Structure 1
Amino acid sequence: MLEQAADSNQRAVEFLSDGLCIRGTLRVPSGDGPHPLVILGHGFGGLKEWTIPETVDALIEIGIAGLAFDYRNFGDSEGLPREEIAHLGRLQDWQDAITYATTLSEIDPHRIGIWGTSLGGRDVLVVGSIDRRVKAILAQTPLIQWTAQSAARAAGYGDDLERYYLELADDRRNRQLGKEPRYLPFVQATGDEAKEEYVESLSPDEIRNYHDRITLQSFSPSVLTDATSLVPLIAPTPIRFVLADGDFLPGQRQAYSAAGGRKSLVEIEGNHFAPYLRSRRQAIVAAQEWFAEMFMTTPK
């Protein structure tokens, strides 16, 4: 654990995941604990400073602690290559964050929730399907389907899968020969207008670890091609989906329909980036109210 920050209720923390040092920020409400906790992670290339602190503010207001962390290879956390999405490694980071939280005296290990957005939204669906230590989940605008076709389009290849596979293979070979990874711009020249608007809205403090790049291998196909089949396994853990009515990501409502047990759907206006921009407050309130219901109400 690192030295406590000036704010006595906030401190930098670190824990190990696959031998890598994963770093984050823990905020704990004033007063006697142990407190419930929500662990929060951002999306594809997102950092812990992006939007998440405001959600933690809302949780602190109602007596819930918040732990935000950077995934391996990003931000303050260790891992190489830098700015590379580790699709399976992220899941290990989430589970090790949960384990770390259970060691903290001020945290109630029986009231731990997880909040993820975009790719982080998929992460919490997967983790929630396999880890019963999680007692409540919020998946915001989750990435549900990650096929070769969707990955290639996200990387700027359109439907040219032949070139996509060829250049992925060339990059792997070059790495094996000791060359640097190939990087793509985080915000691409065309088709990323909403992402560009979001990045431009960030403050200097929020972008201190932002380098406008992401490795080509971040867009590799994953065995997690569709999270829908895992969603029924989440029950009986309660789950809330926060979905934007103009989101371009497919499969979100089908995934919600597949959920069993206690579930909730909140719809907000806008595109995939609306929870961070035009519908930001609505998304934050949806998280605050959900975790208040899960952790701060007296069972009847």
Structure 2
Amino acid sequence: MTTRHKVTFTSEGASLTGNLFLPDGADGPVPGIVVAGTWTSVKEQMADRYAERMADRGYAALSFDFAGFGESEGEPRDWERPEAKVRDIRNAVNFLAGHAAVDADRLGALGVCAAAMYMGAGAVEDTRIRSLALIAPWLHDPEICRDVYGGAEGVDAKLADADKARARYEATGEVEYVPVVSGSDPRAAMPMEVDFYLNPERGGIPQWPNRFAVMGWRDWLTFDSIALAPRVSVPVVLVHSEDAAIPEGARRFHTALDGPKNFVWTNGIQFDFYDQDTTVTTAADAAAAHFATTLKA
């Protein structure tokens, strides 16, 4: 059984809100896992689900809203900034390390989709993160960004839009937004119909406003997570599918890793890893097994 506690902690002056899932009946402090989900997401969409699964398997697991997202403080809202999210992860680790139920010497991180990039960067910067589980990881470099976003011309257009939106924000305080997901708006960050994000029975929940700050394109497109891989020395497991998002990025990242590593290939499209029970269970089991061997007392 698992108990969920609503918690808050501070990150760069902002109060962040999270859910701490603790295994019932634990005998002494247990390993702690920081959990985060896809770009633009709030904790209720997928991070809570994985955090609860980790707690079911004996870990203390913290899911939280990044600054500017969901229940957390921070302005401007819904601005996807990888470096800022990495700072929030460091402060989430601070919270876990200081909690009485957590063994501060056994801390890991689990990232779903884009959070795989952020958790990888977090492990490079924070030696307290001793193990990583990356689920359906979105891991990109400049080449992959060109492949995904319409070649060099498409990337340059998004960077120009970002710079224009940033200048407007700095001059007026106004943030330009487009939808994260839309099948009718070509400016959407994902200009397509995605049931997970648009279905209120799945990820289309009230806590998630489905908006993307246009000035975030520069932060997103220039964050090279694959270049970080040689600096990641902690044990890593990647759980992915050939039918999910950019498996080539995951392969490149895995190849470049310097430390112990494992790759678990399974089935499912990207969005299955967010909320489909069979796929989530497979991924959670792989992550828990990895943490069991890499976060030993």
TM-score range, shorter chain: 0.7 to 0.9
- Among 216, 219, 223, the alignment partner of 1:218 is 216
- Counterpart contact for 1:49–1:206, Cα < 8 Å: no
Deviations 1:246-267 (A, max 9, x none): 2342421011011133211111
> What one-letter code is carried by the residue in structure 1 that aligns with 2:12?
D
The 3-state SS of whatever aligns with 1:73 is coil
- Counterpart contact for 2:3–2:24, Cα < 8 Å: yes
Q: Distance in 2 between matches of 1:129 and 1:170?
A: 32
Q: Distance in 1 between matches of 2:57 and 2:160?
A: 51
The 3-state SS of whatever aligns with 1:66 is strand
1:166-177 to structure 2, matched below 5 A, reads: 166-177=160-171
Q: Distance in 2 between matches of 1:294 and 1:150?
A: 32
Aligned length: 289
TM-score (norm 2): 0.86
Q: Distance in 2 between matches of 1:141 and 1:133?
A: 24
- Counterpart contact for 2:178–2:214, Cα < 8 Å: yes
2:240 corresponding residue in structure 1 = 243
Q: Distance in 1 between matches of 2:169 and 2:99?
A: 40
- Does residue 65 of the first structure (1) align with residue 60 of the second (2)? yes
Q: 1:57 to 1:170 in 2, by over 3 A?
A: closer
Q: Distance in 2 between matches of 1:66 and 1:276?
A: 17
Cα displacement (A) at 1:53: 2.8
2:5 corresponding residue in structure 1 = 11
Q: Greater shift after overlay, 254-263 or 16-25?
A: 254-263
- Among 231, 234, 250, the alignment partner of 1:233 is 231
Q: Greater shift after overlay, 98-107 or 189-198?
A: 189-198
2:51 corresponding residue in structure 1 = 56
Q: Distance in 1 between matches of 2:152 and 2:228?
A: 28
1:92-107 to structure 2, matched below 5 A, reads: 92-107=87-102
- Counterpart contact for 1:120–1:142, Cα < 8 Å: yes
Residue segments in structure 2 that go unaligned for 5+ positions in a row: none
- Among 106, 110, 118, the alignment partner of 1:115 is 110
Cα displacement (A) at 1:23: 1.1
1:290 corresponding residue in structure 2 = 290
The 3-state SS of whatever aligns with 1:159 is helix
- Counterpart contact for 2:2–2:55, Cα < 8 Å: no
1:40 corresponding residue in structure 2 = 35
Q: Distance in 2 between matches of 1:252 and 1:116?
A: 13
- Counterpart contact for 1:36–1:65, Cα < 8 Å: yes
2:268 corresponding residue in structure 1 = 270
Deviations 1:225-269 (A, max 9, x none): 42223222222x211011221234242101101113321111122
- Counterpart contact for 1:152–1:164, Cα < 8 Å: no
Cα displacement (A) at 1:219: 1.4
> What one-letter code is carried by the residue in structure 2 that aligns with 1:287?
A
Q: Distance in 2 between matches of 1:182 and 1:157?
A: 24
Q: Distance in 1 between matches of 2:181 and 2:270?
A: 15
Q: Distance in 2 between matches of 1:115 and 1:198?
A: 21
Q: Distance in 1 between matches of 2:231 and 2:258?
A: 8
2:181 corresponding residue in structure 1 = 187
> What one-letter code is carried by the residue in structure 2 that aligns with 1:81?
P
Residue segments in structure 1 that go unaligned for 5+ positions in a row: 1-6
- Counterpart contact for 2:113–2:136, Cα < 8 Å: yes
Q: Greater shift after overlay, 252-261 or 194-203?
A: 194-203
Cα displacement (A) at 1:195: 6.6
> What one-letter code is carried by the residue in structure 2 that aligns with 1:294?
T
Q: Distance in 2 between matches of 1:39 and 1:247?
A: 23
Cα displacement (A) at 1:270: 2.9
Q: Distance in 2 between matches of 1:9 and 1:288?
A: 18
- Among 64, 73, 77, the alignment partner of 2:72 is 77
Q: Greater shift after overlay, 239-248 or 279-288?
A: 279-288
Q: Distance in 2 between matches of 1:186 and 1:222?
A: 13
Q: Distance in 1 between matches of 2:241 and 2:225?
A: 18
Q: Greater shift after overlay, 283-292 or 249-258?
A: 283-292
- Counterpart contact for 2:67–2:74, Cα < 8 Å: yes
Q: 1:53 to 1:165 in 2, by over 3 A?
A: closer
Q: Greater shift after overlay, 144-153 or 179-188?
A: 144-153
> What one-letter code is carried by the residue in structure 2 that aligns with 1:90?
K
The 3-state SS of whatever aligns with 2:206 is coil
